[in-house]
Amino acid sequence: MQVKLGDFVRFVDENIEGYVTRIIDKDMIGVTDTNDFEIPVMATKVTLVHGDMPEASEMVHNRSQAVVPAAEFITEGVYLGLVSDQHSQVIAHFHFVNETSYQFLLSLTTEKGDRFKGEFAGIVPPHSAVKIFSANMGDIQLWPKFILEALYFTPANVAPKDPLLYKEQIKGKDLSVAKTEIALLKQKGWLIRLDTPAPVLDAQKLKESFFK
């Protein structure tokens, strides 16, 4: 059982209750009792008090996300992927394509005129794609504006990134380029980059600039 700071727990072998006030290491925690005395104890020797159990969805998400070593962690590669329906070419499906090692908390709201509509809210795991919207290709001039917000999350030892915000209306010119293979969707389509790639430094030009 995983506990976190602020959890209210009870000792298994003693009549003591208190709040988790310190995570000492992966095995030991500090529990402060009603006398404000912090007691170090093995995490396996306490149990969450009924009523303070984490929600089932929280438990599932925490367990499902494996910690990726920092050396293998992919920090870039977030796209809006647009593909045609496999059974009808006039239907367009929009996907949030996550090629990174981050997990995202994602929401999509559409805006058309003065009307707003929540279209999608959910978790997007690392290295996955999730369908968030569908539209008719023939009505591209009538497609609504997308308001897409995404929070980066990872339990790994990686510096946090600012939330991602995309507020655009896709137009015909955005789809005037050739389709590309979208590996996570196993299909060709259009990719719109949502995150900003890190600048690539030209070592030779950098070296030359010091001697000008």
Query: Please, are residues 181 and 188 in contact by the beta-carbon 8 Å criterion?
Result: yes
DSSP percent split of the chain into helix, strand, coil, nearest 5: 15, 45, 40
C-alpha span between 80 and 189 (Å, rounded): 10
Buried b (16+ CB within 10 A) or exposed e, 8-34: bbbbeeeebebbbeeeeeeeebbbeee
Other C-beta atoms closer than 10 Å to the C-beta of 171 total 11
C-alpha span between 136 and 164 (Å, rounded): 26
Q: What is the pLDDT of residue 208?
A: 57
Could you state, in chain order, the average pLDDT of each consecutive group of 10 residues for the chain (212 residues)? 79 89 84 86 88 44 54 92 84 94 97 94 96 87 94 92 94 88 96 81 52 54
C-alpha span between 95 and 83 (Å, rounded): 8
Q: What is the pLDDT of residue 149?
A: 98
What is the enclosing helix (H) or strand (E) of 100? none
Q: What is the pLDDT of residue 62?
A: 43
Q: What is the pLDDT of residue 212?
A: 55
Q: What is the pLDDT of residue 184?
A: 96
Q: What is the pLDDT of residue 134?
A: 86
